[in-house]
Structure 1
């Protein structure tokens, strides 16, 4: 593979899997230049990604290190993203991460999440009723996949439902920076989201309720070990971003994959009890964390037999790892009966996704209810005509479907 082959173009994000497989077949981590000009070491083998996710020498605070490393390029987009999220769980290392996760994990109790199931089902049914009242066609993303998770996370947090604005700004926050215009869009999105969460915290401080954000504010105000102002704001923002955006893509990518594999769709229609294992396989096959998660090497290290120098940026490719044939036989085939043990769709180790239980529940209810209501649903356009967003979270712009 030549150096030119290792320059990622925007088209990569439409179908990243052939390129990721080519990197994987090299067998080792390799340096790759992204559209913003920054060089990253792509790690693609399952065993190496798993090791990298657990290696304390690889810091999760990649944006923070980029902002403070004069040898690395920086932009207003990177600065705005770092300012907004630098104290969030996903961007912290121990001991700060350990302390913060211990403080907030109780807000994600199984009792609280499981108690949402009837409401999630009700929201799904309301959206499906609205789709059924239409002309027999719909955009599955705009009418369903993007609305259900936003309504759920807003109710969980106890905040107003600003659906359209949140979807627009979170999409811009997760986009790939490929030019000055996209960098400006990202910077503006993080500024808007930061101001929005500041207003939400003030609202819930004055009007606390039985909701997750009120619980986090209570932790913030405890006299002993507590969330500081920056941590509270970063956690609220992280919940708004990750709490709905990835679930949108789980539903949308998942249904698109089922349309691509009519035999698997037919099996799920015949055996709806398989929806739980189907969701796990859909996360493995084409999940939202694509191409992967960022890390920064705080010291020289070796990963998969390759020396990674101190100061290097790494992209631990969860998407490639989940399709590694050394871990999952016939990995490029969707199989809803597959044993998906070991898939990394929710991460691994200390950064395993706090919201995994909620995302699984939403995915099961959303996909299961959709297929029960519209067993004849099919994609309204050829597979090659669906539009993918250019972003570090893989998802569709829209998914036109025929319901009957």
Structure 2
């Protein structure tokens, strides 16, 4: 990997990652300073590797969309180890045309039309979960009884994962979504265990096909020869993890944000038709993680970005959380504005790696808020916010529990 040359360095490299921000509701202050003074900044990672941190909205969007910033190259042996453990031959780790081929195989399951067909089922799951919650003694753990089982059930039904198996993959998923500085052997063990589970499930579905996405992907592998066996396993694995982990934690962080002073909560109660727009603003505003960089890219040729010349082979770390607070893209960016109309947020990414399940996540988040606002209008935290505990070392903020009452 090429190191930044002296001519390209506007300042000395900054140690990265930054300490966790002091607030759950704002990015680390270092990002906001860089937005103003050094939007493309050289950084040094814990292992001594060099990279470029990108914070401004226009520059981050370009990194995500410009094919000269390669995800595939970021899987090389010299690439920085930042964020999730991603297999080189997974859809997230590929560039076109290989990425395009895999994405087309599953895109039909996540179109606006298909997702809208799933909305009544998701609303039914929300209602059933709330029925059970309302029968429990207070306080109730929202993580255990609502925010986790909702997306787990939706993605498992879509893929065809048996109901009795749905608890099995969550601990593996937690490890794979965990601290990118943890022991790589632990992450590899979790990856291998989850891969074996998917392999066994594929074998079972070959024997007894179902009316689900996994069966359709198996047919694309066996009948149409459009997938290798390894691609099939990785694709199912990625969909299973991505289809529940972030959405569950978004529900939690959305609620913490809305219940912070209840003004926004009461605003949505009074105007439930505003929920879709509110979800977009919450996607922009909420700090799902500690604000760390997104998956790295590697430049395939020399590129000028934000006035800085990046040599070919440079590692680039786009920071979506900072880009979503860029005053050049959003008026009053540090204020939550549920009526915000012009909202080009990057919460779902951009370009060819724009979140495949964005429409599904939007729908689930809308239905989750709709159900909670309608059924539990007086919902509130049952403990002080300072008493909440997050699982250590997670890429996304993952609450151990969210005790609520009403």
3-state SS, counterpart of residue 167 of structure 2: helix
Distance 1:255 1:262 in 2: 10
1:120 Cα offset (Å): 1.1
1:73 Cα offset (Å): 6.7
3-state SS, counterpart of residue 399 of structure 2: strand
What residue in structure 2 maps to residue 383 of structure 1? 385
The answer to whether the aligner puts 1:259 opposite 2:259 as a matched pair is: yes
1:37 Cα offset (Å): 5.5
3-state SS, counterpart of residue 355 of structure 2: coil
Q: Do the aligned partners of 1:27 and 1:45 also contact (CA within 8 Å) in 2? A: no
1:6 aligns with one of 6, 15, 20: 15
What residue in structure 1 maps to residue 328 of structure 2? 326
Distance 2:23 2:174 in 1: 15
Q: Is 359-368 or 195-204 further displaced after alignment? A: 195-204
CA 1:390/1:32 → structure 2, altered by over 3 Å: closer, same or farther?
farther
1:255 Cα offset (Å): 0.8
1:31 aligns with one of 42, 52, 65: 42
Q: Do the aligned partners of 2:73 and 2:298 also contact (CA within 8 Å) in 1? A: yes
Q: Do the aligned partners of 2:80 and 2:296 also contact (CA within 8 Å) in 1? A: no
2:371 aligns with one of 363, 369, 372: 369
Distance 1:64 1:73 in 2: 9
Provide, for residues 139-179 of structure 1, a one-character-per-residue CA deviation record: whole Å limited to 9, x for no partner: 22222111110111110001123343322211110112334
Provide, for residues 25-52 of structure 1, a one-character-per-residue CA deviation record: whole Å limited to 9, x for no partner: 2232113345565543211100100111
Q: Do the aligned partners of 1:131 and 1:143 also contact (CA within 8 Å) in 2? A: yes
**What is the TM-score of this pair, normalised by structure 1?**
0.88
CA 1:188/1:19 → structure 2, altered by over 3 Å: closer, same or farther?
farther
Provide, for residues 38-77 of structure 1, a one-character-per-residue CA deviation record: whole Å limited to 9, x for no partner: 5432111001001111111111125422x2x3xx5779x9
Q: Do the aligned partners of 2:52 and 2:314 also contact (CA within 8 Å) in 1? A: yes
Q: 1:38-53 alignment to 2 at 5 Å?
A: 38-53=49-64
Distance 1:156 1:236 in 2: 11
Distance 2:298 2:23 in 1: 26
Q: Do the aligned partners of 2:14 and 2:42 also contact (CA within 8 Å) in 1? A: no
2:302 aligns with one of 300, 304, 315: 300
The answer to whether the aligner puts 1:169 opposite 2:169 as a matched pair is: no
3-state SS, counterpart of residue 353 of structure 1: coil
3-state SS, counterpart of residue 140 of structure 2: strand
1:113 Cα offset (Å): 2.3
CA 1:353/1:73 → structure 2, altered by over 3 Å: closer, same or farther?
closer
Provide, for residues 241-282 of structure 1, a one-character-per-residue CA deviation record: whole Å limited to 9, x for no partner: 111111112211111111224211110111111111111111
Q: Do the aligned partners of 1:137 and 1:400 also contact (CA within 8 Å) in 2? A: no
RMSD between superposed Cα atoms in Å: 2.6
Distance 1:35 1:387 in 2: 26
What residue in structure 1 maps to residue 218 of structure 2? 217
Q: Do the aligned partners of 2:382 and 2:404 also contact (CA within 8 Å) in 1? A: yes
CA 1:107/1:374 → structure 2, altered by over 3 Å: closer, same or farther?
closer
1:122 Cα offset (Å): 1.6
Q: Do the aligned partners of 2:18 and 2:28 also contact (CA within 8 Å) in 1? A: no
1:112 Cα offset (Å): 3.3
Q: Do the aligned partners of 2:16 and 2:45 also contact (CA within 8 Å) in 1? A: yes
Distance 1:73 1:396 in 2: 24
Distance 1:97 1:13 in 2: 38
3-state SS, counterpart of residue 252 of structure 1: helix
Q: Is 47-56 or 195-204 further displaced after alignment? A: 195-204
Q: Which runs of 5+ in 1 are unaligned?
A: none
2:66 aligns with one of 25, 36, 55: 55
What residue in structure 2 maps to residue 247 of structure 1? 247
Q: Do the aligned partners of 1:281 and 1:340 also contact (CA within 8 Å) in 2? A: no
Distance 1:57 1:276 in 2: 34
Q: Do the aligned partners of 1:149 and 1:244 also contact (CA within 8 Å) in 2? A: yes
1:395 Cα offset (Å): 2.1
CA 1:177/1:381 → structure 2, altered by over 3 Å: closer, same or farther?
same
Distance 2:403 2:334 in 1: 24
What residue in structure 2 maps to residue 202 of structure 1? 203
CA 1:390/1:304 → structure 2, altered by over 3 Å: closer, same or farther?
farther
The answer to whether the aligner puts 1:178 opposite 2:187 as a matched pair is: no
CA 1:163/1:11 → structure 2, altered by over 3 Å: closer, same or farther?
farther
Distance 1:167 1:206 in 2: 25
